[in-house]
Every structure is written in C-alpha cells, then in structure tokens.
Chain A
Amino acid sequence: MIVREASRFASDFFIEKDGYEINGKSIIGVMTLAAEQGAELVLLFEGDDEVAAADAIAALFEEGFGEVK
C-alpha cells in the first residue's frame, strides 16, 4: 500500500529503519525492512510534490492501512 501510494508522486521517497535505508517505491525494498507493528521508521520525501506525498503517506499510517482499528 505504501509503495502504491508513493508511486503516484514524482518525489523520491526513502524509508529508514535502524540506520538501514531503502527506496520507498520498491516493494522488495519495503519488505526487506520487515517492519513489525510499532517499529520506528524515518520517512524522507524529496522532490517537487514532497509535501503532498508526505501528507498522503502520513494519512496511510494514521488510518492504520485500513487494518488496525
């Protein structure tokens, strides 16, 4: 879901966990994070539509990806 959302934007998007950083637009990349619920992630956006992209991804997290209630 993160990847699908991020790919709609032109900005570069990176996710970092414990010093290990991947491209947020790559499914394999996001999976290698093996981020469990409650994991601490740093999200980094960079580009022309970075604010819109950040808002969209932040909204995803806030909604709990439509799973967590």
Chain B
Amino acid sequence: MSHKPKVFKKESITVDFLVEKLRNRVKIPLESCNDQTGEDRKVTESNLHRPGLALAGYVDLFTFQRVQVLGNTECQFLDHLENGARIDAFRKLCEYDMPVIFLTEGNRLEEELIQICTEKEIPILVTPLPTTEFMTAIREFLLDQFATQMSIHASLVDVYGVGLLLVGKAGIGKSEVALDLVERGHRLVADDVVMVTKKDEQVLMGSGTDLVQHFMEVRGLGLIDVRSMFGIRAIRFQKRVEVVVNMELWNPDEEYTRIGMVDDFYEIMGAQLPSVKLPITPGKNVTVLCEVIALNHLLSNYGYDPAEVFAKRLADRIQSKGGNAPSRGIEYFEHDYE
C-alpha cells in the first residue's frame, strides 16, 4: 500500500489538565499557592526548564514557554538576595509568559512573590518531592502526552501476554479472529481502530479509542460489546504491540515462510515489529495459528529458535552417523501398546 497513514500528536495541553493528571494519575502531591487554575494556559512541549540564570538576570535564550521548575538552588538564590533585589528579580522573571511554575522539595516563596505570579495569572504549585524525582515524573507524563500517535485499521489482542496486532484488508476476518481469541480466554485491547502511541524508539503502545473502547463489529452479527458480553477478564485497556500478524488471501505466486516463523518486519512510525504473513485458506484455524505465533514469540524472547535447534540436531546427526537412514524415534516399544 503506497498510501501513508497519518501520524499526529497533541499540540498543547492546558495547565489545569496537567495538574489534574499529575495529582490523580501520576499521584504527585501538589498544593496550589495561588488561585490560578490555568484553564486557558497551554503547555506546548515536553521539555522542562529551571530558570536559575533567568533569575540571575540572564534572559537571552530563556525558554519561558516550557514548564518551569524552581528547586532548592533557585529558591536559595532568591533567599540570599536583599528584599528589593529579590522582588525585582522575580518580577523580571514573571515578565515572561510562563505556563506554570512548580516549586519542589516543599520550598515556599514569600507572599509578595506569589502575588506577582497571581497578577500575571501564572499558576504556582508546590510539591514535597525532590527536584530530580519530580522532574523525571512530570517529564515522563509530558513525553507521553506529546508522543506521536496514529490510528491503524487492525485488531489488537493480548495472547498469552503477547500483543498481537492483526492487520489485513477490510473483510478478511480480523474481527472474527479477535472474537475467537477472546472466546478462548485471551484479552481484547481494541478492534477495528487501534490507537498506537510511540513510547520509545522501538516501543509502541496500543489502545482503543475513547468512544469505541471494546465494541466490535462482526459482519452478519452487528455490533458486539465484548466487555459486557465476556466480562472484565476478556479485555485490556492498553498493551504493547509486539508482533504483527498480516492476514491476506492465499496467493499462489507469493512465497510463504516454511521454516523460520518470524523473518519479516512491519514498520509502524519507524519502529520495526516482527511480523508473520498468514495466508488465509478455507479450513484453516487462524485462531490457533495466532496462539502459536504468540507462543513462538515468547520462546524466541527466551532465546529459543526451533529452526535453529532443528538445524543443529540435523548437523549433529550428519556428523556422528554419516547420514544413515532415519530410524524410529523410540528404541523399543514396551508392552503397553499405547
């Protein structure tokens, strides 16, 4: 397919959304120092900034549009200044339209300084967490928020803990296979529209969309709500995408792999995922094949490659016996005739 699917990412999040998520999802204790909630203030990038030099008066290259973190250094620097100089330095800093200021390690600022922030409508919050710990947590959250995403027409199922992404043309039976896998005790992440987020260079996380979640559409049956039909054990909200199963109609001209199962890669947003091309023919139980693909992926994760093991066994045999005719796998049949 030459068509390039669209990749998108969030352009901004509001400060009140950031604070709410940090409190409730990331579980960072945060206390507001002023009554600014920042509903209309926007964070546009995942980088953080510690405005030490800006406080000292050097404001060239001051990246004020980032989230600002005042740690011990900045707070002690402010403390050591004379009263007038302190207010001047802080007022200068607040000339810049910073989205939000966080104070770490429970550092407090004087009421006069907080007042300056309030005038400029800049929310200022304090956390008891140490600076580096806080910065790691908030950076992780912001990276996720501004990660590249795309929607893929596929099904994502957790099979024995392996995230299998079923792709293929419309109508080939992705949903049916996903349903069959659910019936066998595996867990559905999303059907039809999978939202994939790039977490790391080679790590992709998949989930459903907020609207559809675990509904699926099966041709001839209509809409099915997997969660209410099969219960909570049949679903997952997120799963890493680990193996791509590429379903396609059997094509006699195409060569399918016969020995090594995973030898192909499928690219999604620059990440190379191992993929298996699965020809669909009548009478083939694709569900069981999917389970085997997942188990094989687990084996290879633990360093076992059946093709390699077999090749070694063959080589040993050729060396030791000089290519005798193959003999029975068992030396002597005992008398139980089983």
Binding site for B on A (CB under 8 A): 7, 12, 14, 16, 19-23, 25-29, 31-32, 34, 44, 46
A42 CB → nearest B CB, Å: 9
Known: A12-B3, A28-B191, A34-B211. A20 touches B216 (CB 8 A): no
CA separation between A12 and B4, bound complex, in Å? 12
Q: Which residue of chain A has its CB nearest to the CB of B7?
A: A19
**A32 touching B171, Cβ below 8 Å:** no
Any A CB within 8 A of the CB of B209:
yes
The interface centre, meaning the residue of B150, B151, B171 with most chain A CB atoms within 10 A of its CB, is B151
Q: Which residue of B lies closest to A44 (CB)?
A: B3
Task: Please give me the residue from chain B that is nearest to A42 by CB atom.
Answer: B6
Q: Which of B1, B6, B150 contacts A12 (CB 8 A)?
A: B1
Given A20-B151, A34-B211, A46-B3, answer yes or no on A25-B193 (Cβ-Cβ < 8 Å): no
Residues of chain A lying within 8 A (CB to CB) of residue B150: 21
* Minimum C-beta distance from B127 to chain A (A): 34
Given contacts A22-B193, A25-B170, A32-B209, 10 further A-B contacts (CB under 8 A): A7-B170, A7-B171, A12-B1, A12-B3, A22-B153, A23-B192, A25-B171, A28-B192, A29-B153, A32-B193
CB contact between B211 and one of A19, A25, A32 (< 8 Å): that residue: A32
Known interface pairs A12-B1, A26-B217. Does A31 touch B212 (Cβ–Cβ under 8 Å)? Answer: yes
Query: Chain B residues with Cβ under 8 A from A32's Cβ?
Result: 151, 193, 209, 211-212
Give min CB distance, B227 to chain A, whole Å.
14
A14 to B6, CA, bound (A): 10
Tell me the minimal C-beta distance from A16 to chain B in angstroms.
6
A26 x B170 contact (CB < 8 A): yes
A46: B residues at CB distance < 8 A: 1-3
B153 nearest CB neighbor, chain A only: A23
Residues from 202 to 220 in B contacting A, C-beta threshold 8 Å:
209, 211-212, 215-217
Q: Is B130 an interface residue (CB 8 A)?
A: no
Contact with A along B69-81 (1 / 0, CB 8 A): 0000000000000
Contact digits for B144-172, partner A, Cβ 8 Å, 1 yes 0 no? 00000011010000000000000000110
Indicate which residue in B8, B216, B223 contacts A19 across the interface (CB closer than 8 Å). Answer: B8
Interchain CB contact under 8 A, B6 and A26:
no
Indicate if B306 sits at the interface (CB-CB under 8 A): no
Q: In the complex, what's the smallest C-beta–C-beta distance from A11 to chain B, in angstroms?
A: 10
Task: Note all chain B residues with C-beta closer than 8 A to A20.
Answer: 6, 8, 151
Contact pick for A31, options B1, B3, B6, B211, CB 8 Å: B211
Q: How far is the CB of B182 from chain A (nearest CB, A)?
A: 16
Q: 20 A-B pairs, CB-CB below 8 angstroms?
A: A14-B5, A20-B6, A20-B8, A20-B151, A21-B150, A23-B153, A23-B192, A23-B193, A25-B170, A25-B171, A26-B217, A27-B192, A27-B217, A28-B193, A29-B153, A31-B211, A32-B151, A32-B211, A46-B2, A46-B3
